[in-house]
Amino acid sequence: MSLETLLVRLLLLHETATGYTNLPVSGVLDHAQRYVGWIFELGKLRVLDPDSAQGLPSRGRIAGGYGAYFFGPPYPMYLLLEIPNIDDPTELRLAALFCDYLLSALYAAGYREELERQARYDWLTGLGNRRALERRLADSLPTGWGLAFLDLDDLKKVNDSQGHQAGDQLLQRFAEALRQAGFEAFRLGGDEFAVLLSRQQVEKLYQVVGCFQVSYGFAWAEEGSGVVLLALADQRMYEQKHRKKTGRSV
Among residues 150, 237, 152, the alpha carbon closest in space to that of 202 is found at 150
Residue 222 CA to residue 233 CA, distance in Å, equals 8
Among residues 160, 153, 211, 157, the alpha carbon closest in space to that of 181 is found at 211
Number of domains in the chain: 2
CATH code of 10's domain: 3.30.450.40
Residues 135 and 78 in one domain: no
Residue 135 CA to residue 194 CA, distance in Å, equals 14
CATH code of 134's domain: 3.30.70.270
Q: Look at strands 65-70 and 77-82 and give their pairing.
A: antiparallel
Report the pLDDT value the prediction gives residue 234, as an integer from 0 to 100: 87
Residues 33 and 102 in one domain: yes
pLDDT < 70 regions, the chain: 154, 156, 160, 245-250
For 119-122, the CB contacts below 8 A with 24+ separation are: 122/175, 122/186, 122/187
Report the pLDDT value the prediction gives residue 70, as an integer from 0 to 100: 96
Are 69 and 59 in contact, with CB atoms under 8 Å apart?
Answer: yes
Which of 120, 153, 186 delimits the end of a domain? Answer: 120
Report the pLDDT value the prediction gives residue 238, as an integer from 0 to 100: 85
Residue 114 CA to residue 121 CA, distance in Å, equals 10
Report the pLDDT value the prediction gives residue 250, as an integer from 0 to 100: 44
Domain residues for the domain of 114 are 3-120
Tell me if 108 is assigned to some domain.
yes
Residues 110 and 151 in one domain: no
CB atoms closer than 10 angstroms to residue 233 = 21
Residue 14 CA to residue 101 CA, distance in Å, equals 9
Residues 75 and 167 in one domain: no
Among residues 33, 196, 209, the alpha carbon closest in space to that of 106 is found at 33
